[in-house]
Amino acid sequence: MELWPAESIWEQVSPLLPGFTVEVLPEIDSTNTELMRRARAGQTEPTLLVAERQTAGRGRMGRPWQSAVGDSLTFSLALPFAPQDWSGLSLAVGLSLAESLHPGIGLKWPNDLWWQDRKLGGILIEAATAGQQSQVVIGIGINIRPRPAEGLSTPPAALTELWPQATAGDALLRLSAPLVRTLLDFERCGFAPLQARFEARDVLRGRDVHTSDGLQGQALGVGPSGALRLLTASGEREVHSSEVSVRPVNTHPHTQT
Ligand code: BTN
């Protein structure tokens, strides 16, 4: 197993989240699936679960999430969570990760980390209710070192292209405490205070895009609730659904999205 900075993460995060634990597993089906199972079984302690290998990693919209052992960071964070409004949560998470990891990382609505028009990482957010308590599970996959394209015409981006010495453990240590702070702030204040910072990294703004549910138009940025604003032939439309994926019109269709 690689050396993980579990102790340092625990020292930084436990003052923010009482009862917090960090767990590293050599293998699991999916860190999100495991934390959702635990939540449904009533285990609601805040937990950061890292897996060195996932045998059934999941992406958004029912897609699989492939990651190369040793070359990627795959983890999930579960915590009790009860915001007034959940909209924009995935954008807030992406923004926190980008700001922690590198000034050059862009954000592709709703929740992808991008570098030079290629996907660097993704986020899968799920919610569970255990008794009276609502719990969120935030799963994050980040490519750390380059890997072959594996059927994709363009290989995904890797963090070492921006931060040459990066390891999965370094990245996890850098992003964990800021991510928890972002979530606690989001729970109180929602997405609106983050809108301008998201726009500064928005890679779609000004580009022609189409959505998986058939809309096409120019991306105008995001609104205060995190909705994607699109200028279509029939006027301005807001795209809210998290079950929609968006692709810039001039990106090759076989690029990982
Ligand atoms: C996406 O871009 O579609 C989201 C990818 C999310 C992948 C991470 S890896 C850790 C966690 N466990 C999973 O099964 N998925 C998320």
Q: 79 CA distance to ligand 1 centroid (A)?
A: 17
Higher confidence at residue 2 or residue 136? 136
User: DSSP H helical segments within the chain, as ranges?
Assistant: 6-13, 31-40, 89-101, 168-189, 195-201
Give the position, in ligand 1's atom list, of the atom nearest the Cα of 33. 14
Determine the average pLDDT of the residues in 50-55: 97
CB-CB contact of 180 with 17 (8 Å): yes
Determine the average pLDDT of the residues in 184-188: 98
Angle, vertex CA 202, rays to CA 197 and CA 206, nearest 5? 130
**0.85 exceeded by pTM:** yes
Query: What's residue 70's pLDDT?
Result: 85
Residue nearest atom 3 of ligand 1, based on CA coordinates:
59
User: Which percentage of the chain shows pLDDT scores above 70?
Assistant: 93
Determine the average pLDDT of the residues in 128-139: 90
Query: What's residue 91's pLDDT?
Result: 97
Summarize pLDDT for 160-171 with one digit per residue, the tens: 999 999 999 999
Query: What's residue 225's pLDDT?
Result: 95
| Tokens coding 183 | 């979530």
> Which active-site residues does the annotation give?
60, 119, 247
| Tokens coding 47 | 């937990």
Q: 55 CA distance to ligand 1 centroid (A)?
A: 12
Q: Cβ < 6 Å from ligand 1: which residues?
A: 30-32, 54, 57-60, 63, 65, 74-76, 112, 122-124, 139-141
Summarize pLDDT for 77-129 with one digit per residue, the tens: 999 999 999 999 999 999 999 999 999 999 999 999 999 999 999 999 999 98
Determine the average pLDDT of the residues in 1-27: 95
